[in-house]
Structure 1
């Protein structure tokens, strides 16, 4: 379980510094990131310089450093530049826990990336932590490209040898880093069973499988490196494991005769938090047959689903399954009849899943007048459905979310159903997890609770908006939300910026940098504004 308390307590998960290439004299970034360091930015927020000393950084990229220097002339506001300067390289500076090669195949690169303040590798987080560096992947020969290949290879190993139902994993044996203890998982009853020396936590999340596809597709699209996939001994088997898992999780709760079907996955945990376990003795909420949707036991926030057909995760899976089929399987394995047939099967699965989303994930909602009376109905995307007619009309802050659907390319930001959905998501009157306040107003979720807005959701709002005023307003709030530390937190109290969760959240930091580069391409005039 990721931390979700206002009192930030660093998990005692970091192994001794001798297990990394960072000198033992370097500070523990879990503590370093909680205090302010000079030189401060010259803006009103006097933001800390949060990058660790040069010798204490876990990876160095000349391309990244050149871009950071270049952006100083393109970002006018000193606080905004400091945020970019701190956040964009944060994964490279702090989270590349180990790099090396497989003990059984010296040509197989491996990269173990931690999330930040938790010394484990999430499929979702590690894929997203590298997304911000995609514009710098000019070829397959760069050190950044090696990082991508190393993560893809290690994710393939996790899917094949640990469990495709699990979401976060321990260091590879080659690293000689000892496994981390996860006290929150001590009382797990999970099926299929897993080895805790390999798995950190085993919450089945459909978006974790989609993240493997996303990272693979992103890499080949950026580099054109088809040889990497065609020569890999593990990538295609891992893809088949992903497909088999997704198909198994289309299993409904009941047979046509009414008997309860065996579930491919179960999860229970002794906990005080409802979102940390599944109802019905680990089965989760019932789902109907014949929908074509894929179940997800947990959300991208690592919180349990209310209804297991999680629409944003189905959207993301459909999107990247189709792209993996066309850009990798057809290209790298299409010369073989079996490869061509497999690509066709993937494309059909993707198409069928899209149809299922549009059939079951779009639901009618009343449009209310000022007096609360319903004037008409309109259709929007539900966050979760069960196939029986029930729908959860909310959104959560983590990606994939409904708000982020254009970001991962499922649909266009101009799509009418998306526009209606977006309006509800960003309304406190229609979304119980839209958190509003004078510091920051953004989508939150059950993971951090009411009153805690997620900067990640504000970043996604910016990246899916074409409205200059909306973008500038959200940027101002992000500048005000760091408590002077100059990093993106997991969540922030909407009335008090000094109350927040997670001081070291590498994915959110990288996403902020990714957003700045997106604005540089779409709306460079906004980066020239002064927000003082």
Structure 2
């Protein structure tokens, strides 16, 4: 059993220290803080002082020290030490316990420069630390449990929403969100920050659950609080979002979720008075909004359905072991996972202009298809990373070639970085996250080296991974503090240290440096 004493004290200690003497990271990260690395890129040191970090983990610090010893390139070493702990250093806004159960750990994780907790982002922000998570007794394990528990609460209260306010136990006031929205189902603004229904939120919750269980074997945790109820909420919403626009008699079926907002962007609301575009039955679940928070062109997001299918199936093994789980829960999880996979095979695999079979990014079940990829994860590029398929799968390899080139309308090419971008920013703004994912889904040494070099030269000297970077001008970027992308880079280095350690001995400088 774990002790909750330190957990109860943690929010008090963090609030006292950070409130009195520590700079806000939004301003701190906009400065190229010394000491600079000694390589050509002269990258800033962007870690707060230990007393100013929002969470300290000896497991993570030991991993950083060990991996840095294996990295030859001084700039790559600096970028790794800045990025891998970035979520822990900056984004664990509050930790505590539930008001009605002091054994139920909670952790509120902000996305970075926005003081709200996204289900998808928080799952991906914590996921990199599974590499050093070995058992259930560490404070790091407590953090995983706290995030899972709070996500479960949110998914029970408002399963169609994507970003949430601090829990009442934190004592933090709700963050103001100035948008004007008309959304069904209705939600509590004291609980919800934004209510874009994004199917990958369900995948993110299940992914983090899978990661914790795979690392610790701690199945008992999932039976103690609200996890099973959250899975039931996920399944109910998924089933509602699998329904077509028209019934068997042709009658319009009112959708479970609608969204309208006053916005300056066409991607900030849904068409047809908030209903979205019509869909046919495919077995997949609708995702009116993408992982980028932009509205979809067609509602069946293939990568989001890939993610949900994969993690419904894998976390059914957890439900199998819960003595008090609702009857048939694990079987239902596996059935829905299989039906979604069948729907992807039938509707999500289409013919590209060159005649090859590829995965579409989005479809509608009527024949509509969107051939592209978006940098945000889940993406088509990330399908092997999600564990949905093997990277040597023929359709995946066809898709990979399609999206990593000019055929993809959101492929950004230039002298500094070549990567998939996103409609969330603009054409020509490459997302380093995509270059990182390219390296993580490749076995080709030169492709990996090229992708890592491009990310390394994209930070503009700040030593942090930006949201997007102009592929022709690395001083033109968006978001200096984006913890998800930073953690993903650290996760990539940990992955390379495990499966391709020889690559960490390479020089990633922009010119040849002779090794000693």
The TM-score with structure 1 as length reference comes to 0.92
1:218-265 residue CA offsets vs partner (Å, 9 max, x unmatched): 111110111111222x11111100000000001111122222211100
Q: Does 1:324 align with 2:315?
A: yes
Equivalent residue, structure 1, for 2:514? none
Q: Does 1:391 align with 2:378?
A: no
Shift in Å at residue 55 of structure 1? 1.3
Q: Does 1:354 align with 2:341?
A: yes
Distance in structure 2 (CA, Å) of the matches to 1:292 and 1:58: 42
Q: Does 1:85 align with 2:81?
A: yes
Q: Does 1:493 align with 2:484?
A: no
CA contact (8 A) 1:23 1:56 kept: no
Distance in structure 2 (CA, Å) of the matches to 1:351 and 1:77: 45
Shift in Å at residue 21 of structure 1? 4.8
Equivalent residue, structure 2, for 1:228? 221
CA contact (8 A) 1:19 1:177 kept: no
Distance in structure 2 (CA, Å) of the matches to 1:358 and 1:72: 42
Q: Aligned pair in 2 of structure 1 residues 20, 506: CA closer, same or farther (>3 Å)? A: farther
Distance in structure 1 (CA, Å) of the matches to 2:59 and 2:207: 23
1:472-502 residue CA offsets vs partner (Å, 9 max, x unmatched): 1111111110010000000001111111111
Q: In the TM superposition, what are the counterparts of 1:271-290 in structure 2 within 5 Å?
A: 271-289=263-281
The TM-score with structure 2 as length reference comes to 0.95
CA contact (8 A) 2:17 2:51 kept: no
Shift in Å at residue 52 of structure 1? 0.9
Shift in Å at residue 20 of structure 1? 6.3
1:344-383 residue CA offsets vs partner (Å, 9 max, x unmatched): 121111111111110000001221xxxxxxxxx1110000
CA contact (8 A) 1:18 1:24 kept: no
Distance in structure 2 (CA, Å) of the matches to 1:304 and 1:471: 32
Runs of 4+ in 1 over 6 A off after TM superposition: none
Distance in structure 2 (CA, Å) of the matches to 1:74 and 1:110: 35
Q: Does 1:55 align with 2:51?
A: yes
CA contact (8 A) 1:444 1:453 kept: yes
Distance in structure 1 (CA, Å) of the matches to 2:426 and 2:27: 24
1:245 to 231, 237, 245: 237
Equivalent residue, structure 1, for 2:41? 45
Distance in structure 2 (CA, Å) of the matches to 1:179 and 1:57: 23
Q: Does 1:207 align with 2:200?
A: yes
Shift in Å at residue 69 of structure 1? 1.2
Equivalent residue, structure 2, for 1:468? 445
CA contact (8 A) 1:21 1:58 kept: no
1:251-308 residue CA offsets vs partner (Å, 9 max, x unmatched): 111122222211100001111111111101111111013x111000100011100000
Equivalent residue, structure 2, for 1:254? 246
Distance in structure 2 (CA, Å) of the matches to 1:37 and 1:345: 52
Shift in Å at residue 19 of structure 1? 5.0
Equivalent residue, structure 1, for 2:382? 404
Equivalent residue, structure 2, for 1:100? 96
CA contact (8 A) 1:41 1:47 kept: yes
Q: Aligned pair in 2 of structure 1 residues 365, 325: CA closer, same or farther (>3 Å)? A: same
1:424 to 395, 402, 409: 402
Distance in structure 2 (CA, Å) of the matches to 1:349 and 1:55: 46
Equivalent residue, structure 2, for 1:513? 490
Q: Does 1:296 align with 2:296?
A: no
Distance in structure 2 (CA, Å) of the matches to 1:457 and 1:100: 34
Equivalent residue, structure 2, for 1:266? 258
- Structure 1 unaligned runs (5+)? 1-16, 368-376
1:310-352 residue CA offsets vs partner (Å, 9 max, x unmatched): 00000000000011112x001224x87x54x221121111111
2:164 to 164, 169, 173: 169
Q: Does 1:216 align with 2:203?
A: no
Q: Does 1:181 align with 2:176?
A: yes
1:154 to 140, 150, 153: 150
Q: Aligned pair in 2 of structure 1 residues 99, 461: CA closer, same or farther (>3 Å)? A: same
Distance in structure 2 (CA, Å) of the matches to 1:113 and 1:264: 29
1:189-233 residue CA offsets vs partner (Å, 9 max, x unmatched): 11111111110000000000111111111111110111111222x
CA contact (8 A) 1:19 1:176 kept: no
Shift in Å at residue 18 of structure 1? 8.8
CA contact (8 A) 2:63 2:132 kept: no
Q: Aligned pair in 2 of structure 1 residues 30, 20: CA closer, same or farther (>3 Å)? A: farther
